[in-house]
Structure 1
């Protein structure tokens, strides 16, 4: 799907050469305002720097400096072979037992999924302990990439006890795991999770469209049903540049 390209004329950009404010900063401020006001929508390509400089009567280095300042602020991103693009808003997620798919859908993020693995494997020590099964016994593994706004957002690995739910690959790519669990009549009651951060490996960076060593948020979660049985344990990686967890704290 092709991305829309900004029309500089429609944005009514301009600079005041009598102002003490540097020209690049004036342009950067106007572009940032256009993003905040929705005149430059997420995903929009900014267009050719040479053309933009010509339209505004500015030098190309001035335009490049303005755009770079917005790249540094995380408002735009340069993509090889694509150009400069307005980034999508960071996805915020409440720190509660919720489905990433449902949260993205509610926020208008148009979630999509690609299943990398959907298989049965022997439970390792950690998974066996968390799910309350014998080490080496069969557990189901599902590994997926979750996309939002057509960009990779998270790498999700989930282990489930066998027979918990029919994990059809086509359904996993069209809906969320929690929605499938609810549809199977499983009442999810609570979850225990821990959050951290670490640098991306080369393989993870390639999957998530990041650079090797970029910061990834980590989440380890175990979800329990209303009988106290562990029904899944997840080990998830999120792009810190596109994702955050929201905390609500009570002061006593």
Structure 2
């Protein structure tokens, strides 16, 4: 399939990046579907009046994101579209719903307990304060995607049944709690056997991790979350600026 691409040669944005974004956009919107053969690199370069190195670099950008795969004797093909998420102050449920990924939630645990030292420090609570501990499995279009553990002060925590039909931040907003600021750490580690079983991965498979402490309009810490995501189906997307 020949992809329709408009390049702005007067833009300071590199041509390879413009082309990579166009290819990625076509895959994410379904214009290019999983299994589709992608246009030959040489033919694409000639059609768009680009150099082969520029075209090759653009395609490699999309290959590196897991959206295209090169197969010897077959060429380049579109593969299953992984979930990508911009590093913004949003919830996974809201992000998936906004992109049409049909999020669902399995509530694995919901209990009231005393905050341990780490959670108390993150939420700026006394060690004897009670919190609601929540553990969920988030699916996208029925496929396991992430395991999420969250801790909230008892007085603002949503009810258990709410968390099976709505996102945590959505439930907090309905209670008048608006997330204004968050401190976030992104990392990686290997999946434990229980995690791998829930996520449909092998034990030791790579997981992306995110720990986030969220604050409301008054600066009060209202939620601490520790999440892990399947690296084979998920990645974070950032845009960097030079100041």
The answer, yes or no, to whether TM exceeds 0.5 is yes
Taking only aligned residues, the RMSD between alpha carbons, in angstroms, comes to 2.2
Secondary structure at 2:155's aligned position in 1? coil
The match for 1:219 is 210
Tell me, in whole angstroms, the C-alpha distance in 1 between the residues paired with 2:79 and 2:128.
44
| The one of 29, 34, 37 aligned to 2:32 | 37
Quote the offset at 1:251 in angstroms: 0.8
Tell me, in whole angstroms, the C-alpha distance in 2 between the residues paired with 1:232 and 1:180.
12
The match for 1:145 is 137
Q: What TM-score do you get using the length of structure 2 for normalisation?
A: 0.68
Q: Deviations over 1:44-84 (max 9, x none)?
A: xxxxxxxxxxxxxxxxxxxxxxxxxxxxx7879xxxxxxxx
Q: Deviations over 1:198-239 (max 9, x none)?
A: 000111100110000100000000000010000000000000
Quote the offset at 1:89 in angstroms: 1.1
The match for 2:104 is 112
Tell me, in whole angstroms, the C-alpha distance in 2 between the residues paired with 1:177 and 1:143.
11
The match for 1:169 is 160
The match for 1:95 is 87
Quote the offset at 1:88 in angstroms: 3.8
Structure 1: gaps spanning 5 or more residues: 1-34, 42-72, 77-85
Structure 2: gaps spanning 5 or more residues: 1-29, 37-65, 70-77
Quote the offset at 1:138 in angstroms: 1.1
**The structure with more radius of gyration:** 1
Tell me, in whole angstroms, the C-alpha distance in 2 between the residues paired with 1:217 and 1:39.
24
Q: What TM-score do you get using the length of structure 1 for normalisation?
A: 0.66
Alpha-carbon spacing, 1:250–1:37, altered in 2? closer, same or farther (3 Å):
closer
Does structure 2 retain, via aligned residues, the 8 Å contact 1:202–1:213?
Answer: yes
